[in-house]
Structure 1
Amino acid sequence: MIRIIVIDDEALVRSGFELILHKDPDIDVVATADDVSALAEIDRHRPDVVLLDIRMPHIDGLTILREIRQREQPPIVAVLTTFDSDEYVMQALQLGAAGFLLKDTDPRQLATLVKTLAAGGVVLSPRVARSVITGFAASGADARAVDAIAQLTERERQVLVLAARGRSNPEIAESVHISVGTVKDDISAILAKLAVGSRVEAALIAQRAGLIDAS
């Protein structure tokens, strides 16, 4: 059972996501919260996945994400928004968000996306993906990508390529013939060596270094 918390300042949005996700027998929405009560609810329920609004009136989503990532065993966080601003996308990913979903995501896809997140996968809406790739290319990361990838061991490169192709941790473990726990350790090592906060940023470096097909 995947334990979820939905954080949004609008009660209607929280109720809508809860209603949609409760229909899936593998998902349990253990709580919903606004920005003020978000961190307390997360500490109380210790969810596997948090769906977090990025723009809220009292405490913005980036501040909450930063606090979540400082927890000893932080949940996986996907940012929810009606905006696809490059600035917010890149900041959220740099803070360790595993996904970035627009609020108009097809309800029929929502449960599947949550399961992808829980399994260690990366989730980006198509519009957000385009913003991320454009923003990353503009950062001039090309010159550093090859040198950054050179720090990785051969297995870490294998794991990175599979992660960049959207494989979940169990799928990577099966492909490389290692345990899921070892995959998690390798991912942590990859992020540290590449000096990035999310799998998405690591995947983009792999793409810029020519490890995966840019198409």
Structure 2
Amino acid sequence: MIRVQVVDDEALIRSGFELILNAAADIEVVATSTGAEAADTVKRLRPDVVLLDIRMPDVDGLTVLREIRTMPDAPVVAMLTTFDSDEYIVTALRSGAAGFILKDTEPEQLAQLVRTLAAGGVVLSPKASRSMLHGHPGHGTDDDPGVRRVGLLSEREREVLVLVAEGLSNADVGARIHLSAGTVKDHVSAILTKLRVSSRVQAALLAQRAGLLDGQGRGETLGRGPGQRGDTER
């Protein structure tokens, strides 16, 4: 079962997401909470996925995100928002969010997005992908420490990084380049360590700054995550 916590200041949103997700055979909403209660609830119940409202009156969603990301074995966090042009999205992604879900997402798509997150994929709309990967003019230079770290990657690690930037899970990356999911997991772990980042999204941002995604249209494919849940992925 994929264990989910929904965090939102509106009771109607919390109950609606809970009702929709609990209808899926492989998903259980273990908690719903306001922002003020979110971090303590995560520590107590250890969900696999947290759906976190990016704007709440009681506590800022970005503050909650950063607190959750400091926890050992932190859950995957996706931000909930009303608009895919929300100016806080890029900040959230740079802070470790694995993507975002629009609050008006079709019910039949919501469970699939949660499965994507649980399997290590990235959930973004095409507009948000363009904002994240192309919204900041210019690439990093050779003096950019992040770009220099990308240069430390092996050819295989660069190949894996580009596929990770597409939003693929370890299993899907392995299927694409004929490696086992375990081998891909080892590559992803090495990539995150070499790049000194804590999430796949942050690694994708560095890939863009280093020019690895140029001319390949991959900024539009980040929302295409895997369809099934796999092993826990870094």
> One fold, TM greater than 0.5?
yes
Q: CA deviation at 1:185?
A: 4.2
Cα deviation, 1:132-172, whole Å, max 9, x if unaligned, reads: 2343x32x334357644311123321221221222112222
Query: Distance in 2 between the 1:169 and 1:201 partners?
Result: 16
Rounded Cα–Cα distance in structure 1 between residues aligned with 2:134 and 2:154: 28
- What is the match of residue 39 of structure 1? 39
What corresponds to 2:69 in structure 1?
Answer: 69
Deviation at 1:82, TM superposition (A): 1.3
CA distance in 1, matches of 2:85, 2:195: 24
Counterparts of 1:41 and 1:120, CA distance in 2 = 22
Task: Go from structure 1 to structure 2 and tell me whether the alpha carbon gap of 1:16 and 1:50 turns closer, same or farther (over 3 Å shift).
Answer: same
- Contact 1:96/1:198 (CA < 8 Å) preserved in 2? yes
Higher helix share: 1
Q: C-alpha displacement at 1:102, in angstroms?
A: 1.8
Query: How far does the alpha carbon of each residue in 1:38-67 deviate from its partner, in whole angstroms, 9 at most, with x for none?
Result: 111111110110000011112111111101
- Give 1:150's aligned amino acid: G
Q: 1:11 & 1:78 partners in 2: Cα distance?
A: 18
Distance apart, 1:177 and its partner CA: 2.0
The whole-number CA distance in structure 1 between the counterparts of 2:68 and 2:170 is 21
Asked if 2 retains the 8 angstrom alpha-carbon contact of 1:80 and 1:100, the reply is: yes
Structure 2: state its 5+ residue gaps.
218-234
Q: CA deviation at 1:106?
A: 1.9
Aligned to 2:160: 159
Q: Which amino acid aligns with 1:92?
A: A
Segments ≥4 residues shifted beyond 6 Å? none
One-letter identity of the residue aligned with 1:141: H
Q: Which amino acid aligns with 1:6?
A: V
Task: For 1:110, give the aligned amino acid.
Answer: L
Q: How does 1:92-171 map to 2 (within 5 A)?
A: 92-135=92-135, 137-138=136-137, 140-143=138-141, 144=144, 147-171=148-172
Percent sequence identity over aligned pairs: 59
1:214 and 2:210 correspond: no
Q: Would you say the 8 A contact 2:85–2:127 is kept in 1?
A: no
Structure 1, unmatched stretches of 5+, are none
Aligned residues: 212
The one-letter code matched in structure 2 to 1:210 is L
- For residue 32 of structure 1, give the secondary structure of its aligned residue in structure 2: strand
Question: Quick check: 1:59 aligned with 2:59?
Answer: yes
Greater relative contact order (CA < 8 Å, ≥ 6 in sequence): 2
Q: Which residue of 1 aligns with 2:11?
A: 11
Per mean C-alpha deviation after superposition, the further-off stretch among 38-47 and 190-199 is 190-199
SS at the partner of 1:115? helix
Aligned to 2:226: none
CA apart distance, 1:29: 0.7
RMSD in angstroms over aligned alpha carbons? 2.3
Q: Which moved more, 1:81-90 or 1:34-43?
A: 81-90
Q: Which residue of 2 aligns with 1:29?
A: 29
What is the CA–CA distance in structure 1 between the aligned matches of 2:191 and 2:49, rounded to whole Å? Answer: 22
